[in-house]
């Protein structure tokens, strides 16, 4: 009898945990930091702050620096935590290498309006690409889509919708289902998850040169996800794997060097 009672308690507790995870999953998935100042306060004195309107009338903030003549512009989709200010050093290095940079804060991040969600992120991504092409007059063959972590899900989706110059993925996962199952193997993740970012099912629809970065010691998204995604992707594609690098501690100068070599190889730099 005691065993039966204990079993019931365990079942009830498990159901409560599942319900809680379903209800609070977006608070675990999206970790925005809303405090942000002008780009010049982070050393980006030559960056312009922009307000971009999405299709559902949300205003998102962007930072922009024009490319050096003959160089492409990188539209940068950052990870699930922080905001653009936490990528300021990387933006400055990309600028110094000659690249244009258009970074955005998703809805709910930085000074952007709204609340984070997968579909919301896609609307933010479309707004950024449309703004780059229409308002900044950037040709498609001079735009590189760059995704970092959860931003790789946005970048892959954009690459299925727009024919642009190239796609760069840093620490990508196959899907949010895969990533969440890695951390919560004891939960029925496919039944609970609201936002899927299923890059593995979309990558075959991307027909643009791909560069992939992954740290071999990544404890957040295992490198096996990145390697599987690379296998599923179309040619031309290449990967650079970084020994002893985790999810967030890449050597930024090495990344920029690899991006520049990739751009030169794909003849994206005149």
Alpha-carbon distance of 151 to 54, in angstroms, equals: 17
Cα–Cα distance measured from residue 136 to residue 151, given in angstroms and rounded to the nearest whole number: 22
Q: Is 65 a catalytic residue?
A: no
Residue pair 176/193 in contact by the 8 Å Cβ criterion: yes
Omega before 225 within 30 of 0, i.e. cis: no
Query: Distances in Å between the alpha carbon of 2 and those of 9, 16, 126, 235?
Result: 11, 21, 57, 60
Angle (deg, nearest 10), helices 150-161 and 118-134:
50
The 3-state DSSP class for residue 116 equals: coil
Q: Is 262 helix (H, G, I), strand (E, B) or coil?
A: helix
Q: Is 201 a catalytic residue?
A: no
Is residue 224 part of the annotated active site? The answer reads no
Length of the chain: 270
Catalytic residue among 105, 124, 198, 218: 218
Please tell me the chain's helix, strand, coil percentages from 3-state DSSP, rounded to the nearest 5: 45, 20, 35
The Cα 197–Cα 38 span in angstroms is 30
Choose, from 112, 149, 175, 178, the residue flagged as catalytic: 149
CA distances from 16 to 181, 217, 230 (A): 18, 34, 38
Residue 219 main-chain phi, psi, to 5 deg: -95, -5
The residues annotated as belonging to the active site are: 149, 218, 247
């Amino acid at each position: 009898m005691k065993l039966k009672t204990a079993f019931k308690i365990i079942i009830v507790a498990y159901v409560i945990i599942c319900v809680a995870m379903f209800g609070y999953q977006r608070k675990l998935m999206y970790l925005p930091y809303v405090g942000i100042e002008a780009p010049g306060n982070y050393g980006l004195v030559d960056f312009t702050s922009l307000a971009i309107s999405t299709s559902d009338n949300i205003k998102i903030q962007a930072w922009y620096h024009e490319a050096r003549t003959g160089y492409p512009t990188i539209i940068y989709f950052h990870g699930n935590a922080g905001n653009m200010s936490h990528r300021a050093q990387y933006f400055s290095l990309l600028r110094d290498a000659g690249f244009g940079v258009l970074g955005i804060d998703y809805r709910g991040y930085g000074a952007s309006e709204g609340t984070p969600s997968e579909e919301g992120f896609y609307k933010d991504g479309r707004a950024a690409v449309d703004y780059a092409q229409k308002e900044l007059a950037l040709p498609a063959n001079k735009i590189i889509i760059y995704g970092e972590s959860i931003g790789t899900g946005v970048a892959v989706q954009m690459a299925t919708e727009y024919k642009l110059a190239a796609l760069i993925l840093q620490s990508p996962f196959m899907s949010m289902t895969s990533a969440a199952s890695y951390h919560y193997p004891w939960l029925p993740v496919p039944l609970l998850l609201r936002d899927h970012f299923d890059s593995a099912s979309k990558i075959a629809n991307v027909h643009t040169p791909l560069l992939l970065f992954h740290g071999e010691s990544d404890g957040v998204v295992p490198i096996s996800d990145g390697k599987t995604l690379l296998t599923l992707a179309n040619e031309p594609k290449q990967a650079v794997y970084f020994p002893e690098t985790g999810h967030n501690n890449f050597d930024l100068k090495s990344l920029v060097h690899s991006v520049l070599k990739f751009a030169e190889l794909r003849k994206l730099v005149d």
